[in-house]
Amino acid sequence: MTDLITDDPFTGEVACKVTLADEQAVNAVLDRAQRAARTWRASGAAERIALCERAVAAMETHADAVSGDITRTMGKPLAQSRAEVRTMAARARHMMSIAETSLADVVLPTEPGFERRIVRAPLGVVLDLPAWNYPLLTAVNSG
């Protein structure tokens, strides 16, 4: 198997080494993601918001480790990496606070015999490759 090695741009030392998944492993992950997407689609906005809040809280619980990983892999000063975790959490919570209103159906003007509306539904599995310089903020803004 092939490894992906990321160097610490400040020290030049290996920051992390990850074995790349083969085709079978990638397909297994995508299959699980598609099953999860069906469950996500069937859940209500309040349930999705609660799950997102749990994810944000977990990131905050591990903020020191997450910040350290960002600093080691891209060279951002630790204070800025910590600020990114805090800013990501604030941005995610803002998005959660407007989610129900923003994702509500839009009822359009009706015509005799027709009801027209825009229904906002989850897309399914989406691959997000965040920018290296703001990995958390780029990811949370894609949602």
CATH code: domain of residue 71: 3.40.605.10
Distance linking the first and last C-alpha atoms of the chain? 32
For the entire predicted model, the pTM comes to 0.83
Q: List the pLDDT tens digit at each of the 143 positions of the chain.
A: 699 999 988 889 999 899 999 999 999 999 999 999 999 999 999 999 999 999 999 999 999 999 999 999 888 999 999 999 999 999 999 999 999 999 999 999 988 888 899 998 888 888 888 888 899 998 888 76
Residue pair 1/22 in contact by the 8 Å Cβ criterion: yes
> What residue numbers bound the domain in which 26 lies?
3-141
CA 74 to chain centre: 19
Residue 124, pLDDT score: 86
In the chain, the number of structural domains is 1
Distance separating alpha carbons of residues 136 and 143, to the nearest angstrom: 12
Tokens representing residue 66 in the block: 């997450």
- 99, 143 in Cβ contact below 8 A? no
Instruction: Tell me the DSSP string of 99-142.
Output: HHHHTS-EEPPPBTTB--EE-------------SSSHHHHHHHT
